Structure 1
Amino acid sequence: MTWRWEYDPSEAHVVGGAPPAFVVEVEKAADELVRAAEALYLDGTAYREIGPRGAVMDLDDGMFVYLIVPRSECVYIRQVTCL
């Protein structure tokens, strides 16, 4: 398995209607979160602790809420807010 990120529940639900430039900014930040999670949880599928809590990533034009799920080796983007 390899680390990735996804919109949850769907791209249309999470970023539908957001300006394309902001969506690109969110996706670049999501890529960075994936790299960080991959380094922190070397074998996410073997992770047996309580999972990390959701968090907020601040961006220049807004923010987004995400959740890291080590056992799924996935960062879920749950909500975006564009200012």
Structure 2
Amino acid sequence: MSWAWEYAFGAEETARTAPPGFLTAVERKAAELVRAAEARYLQGHAYGGDDPKGADITVPGGMFRYQIVVRTERVYVVQITYLGF
């Protein structure tokens, strides 16, 4: 298994209606989170600790909330909020 990110829960549905520029910013930051998690947790599937606490990240146009699940080697974007700024 290798690290990746994906939309989870209602974020996937929201992503269908969000502006493309905003989604590009979300996807870039999610890819950065994947690279950081991959470097931090080299053997994610064998990790025995608790998953790190998720957080919010502001991007141009809004924000998104993410959660890292180490054992599945995934960064989940669980909520996106387009504010138009």
TM-score (norm 1): 0.92
- Cα distance in 1 for partners of 2:8, 2:42 equals 23
Farther off after superposition, 64-73 or 11-20 = 11-20
State the partner residue of 2:49.
49
SS of match in other structure, 2:27: helix
Supply the RMSD in Å over aligned alpha carbons: 1.3
Residue 57 of structure 2 is aligned to residue 75 of structure 1: no
How big is each residue's C-alpha offset from its partner over 1:49-78, in whole Å with a ceiling of 9 and x where there is no partner?
A: 111111111112111000000000000001
Cα distance in 2, alignment partners of residues 14 and 34 from structure 1: 21
**1:3-33 per-position Cα deviation (integer Å, ceiling 9, x unaligned):** 0001003664241211011011100111000
Gaps spanning 5+ residues in structure 2: where? none
Counterparts of 1:25 and 1:63 in 2: how far apart (Å)?
10
* Distance of 1:10 and 1:2 partners within structure 2: 24
The sequence identity of aligned pairs, in percent, is 49
> What is the total number of aligned residue pairs between the two structures?
83
Distance 2:26 2:61 in 1: 10
Return 5+ residue gaps in structure 1 as ranges: none
Which aligned pairs between 1:1-83 and structure 2 lie closer than 5 A?
1-9=1-9, 12-83=12-83
Report the TM-score when normalising by structure 2: 0.90
